[in-house]
Structure 1
């Protein structure tokens, strides 16, 4: 089926059909509907590869993750894939759990424009070497959208989609305080992460608002892993002022905390309440089911991908963060403070 047939059926010129396929924003809405209807009726399949070549496009998006297999980011990826498929993009996934050579290869890819854009879901900056030193480069970069907080000042120029981690962590801590807990421990993620910083900030903000002190040793790094959280929990349980509740900066660490509390012969939530963050897919089937702060992961994925598509088309000049709502999900891992 030819473009000429589509034009005849839509009652427009072949130039208008071509303009619709290459720059739809330049075509009036009524005309767009007529052309798309004709395309649907004829089954016309435009040569996307050739069209992208003419436009200097690759139809490839690079998604940078901290690691492959993170349960929360798996949900974010579902939203990204959905919009990418809808918009005709392929996805190349790169993770930052790699050696320095692979990291340099990724950085070079950003600055050499081998892709149309970057979705950054890891706490790294393409403007820095693995050592943290600024990366010297005069190459242009493709559009970048963040699915998390900016980790460097340079990244503030790019749009982002995220929850308000300070407010979310404050809400979770406030809920524990409402249950009567005064000794509340916090298992943080990696110390060099802005996400960790913001969630700890929210925890401390709620404690301060309630005029509750945070004892030395109540904030422990859990490395954002199950095993790291188990080690952190052992430290909290050995504290002379053992917390009656533990707020974990993600659900995987909450699972590790629950395991370690049980190993110590204690019960959740009768002896110690536990709250997580993210509401990953197995949070509700933990034993006990986990109280957590839910993020709309798939929505974050969809919105980041849509904003990247807009940036690629040159229609998203807004670098402001787009804040999506969080929600406290109360389950069985939290209860009133023990008397």
Structure 2
């Protein structure tokens, strides 16, 4: 079977124009019956696969949505990206994923890559890199740009979990269970860190209780499990973790806290620490399988992905969805053995 490398060569062999061939490979129903029959007959005779990316780059924009996240190693981001991809595919779009890994130069290069490919829009989860914020604010005026999971000052469009609702939900649950929970913060990598801590404080005061934010060390890092374990070991030795329980700013921090309790022999069946309730936030896929399984609040990851795609397409003018500029989605309480 003859190998054909270019669409121009294939169109000539099929006896159709190049634009007609290009239109066929995007949507066979978009060309006339006679042209479609010629193209399909030629596809039986030659080995040809169109370079759709090259074709799209010849136009002003592609049917690609860019997604930029700190890391695919975080199961929450992986779940949201899966939702974005599934919903993008339902509208005939593909997804290109870039990761920053918390490195400014990698994030800059990732943004350049997405812009060079003329993506239809970008879904972006902030990585805590302050040096890039100014450029990201400027890009918002150049193409559809939607923040998810967190944002910063000057953001136009965002899709996020409602931290006020979710942290109040888990704090109220702990208090109603006759506990006086402490709060285990997360590294200050994005707006979630301060938002969740502030809501915890407000919720405790609402119930007439003194907030107890654990005095962990400040560090900008994404290695939450390791950091959580190191800080939890310090808190255990300072006797700051007790039967009142701990609300962790996210599940990955809670994984580290549970590991620290176990390594100190405080999760054994005969230990009084068995009764120390530990909760998280996010409902990471592994939360159900920790020991003990983790009580947490589940973010609406499907909704986040769906709203991101619909907002991008609305801003691009290819679809019409009546959506606010700032979208907050409710979380659900998930009760398991840890609390």
TM-score surpassing 0.5?
yes
TM-score computed with the length of structure 1 as normaliser: 0.74
The answer to whether structure 1 residue 212 and structure 2 residue 215 are counterparts is no
C-alpha contact 1:129 1:135 (8 A) present in aligned 2: no
C-alpha contact 1:296 1:326 (8 A) present in aligned 2: yes
Map residues 1-339 of structure 1 onto 2, 5 A cutoff: 56-97=60-101, 99-109=103-113, 114-123=118-127, 129-130=131-132, 141-153=142-154, 155=155, 157-158=156-157, 160-182=158-180, 184-215=181-212, 217-218=214-215, 223=221, 225-244=224-243, 245-267=245-267, 270-313=274-317, 315=320, 320-334=325-339
Aligned mates of 1:309, 1:258 — CA distance in 2: 42
C-alpha contact 2:88 2:94 (8 A) present in aligned 1: yes
C-alpha contact 1:76 1:298 (8 A) present in aligned 2: yes
Unaligned residue ranges in structure 1 (runs of 5+): 1-17, 23-34, 335-339
Aligned mates of 1:206, 1:70 — CA distance in 2: 28
Pick closer, same or farther for the CA change 1:198–1:100 going to 2, 3 Å: closer
After superposition, the C-alpha distances for 1:189-231 in whole angstroms (9 at most, x for unaligned) are 2224211111111211111112221347456658551111101
SS of 1:253's equivalent in the other structure is helix
C-alpha contact 1:79 1:301 (8 A) present in aligned 2: yes
C-alpha contact 1:295 1:327 (8 A) present in aligned 2: yes
Aligned mates of 1:212, 1:293 — CA distance in 2: 22
TM-score computed with the length of structure 2 as normaliser: 0.74
Query: How many pairs align?
Result: 293
After superposition, the C-alpha distances for 1:127-153 in whole angstroms (9 at most, x for unaligned) are x634x6668979952101122232122
SS of 2:242's equivalent in the other structure is coil
Deviation at 1:68, TM superposition (A): 2.1
Deviation at 1:83, TM superposition (A): 1.5
C-alpha contact 1:110 1:141 (8 A) present in aligned 2: no
Unaligned residue ranges in structure 2 (runs of 5+): 1-22, 40-49
Aligned mates of 2:139, 2:68 — CA distance in 1: 22
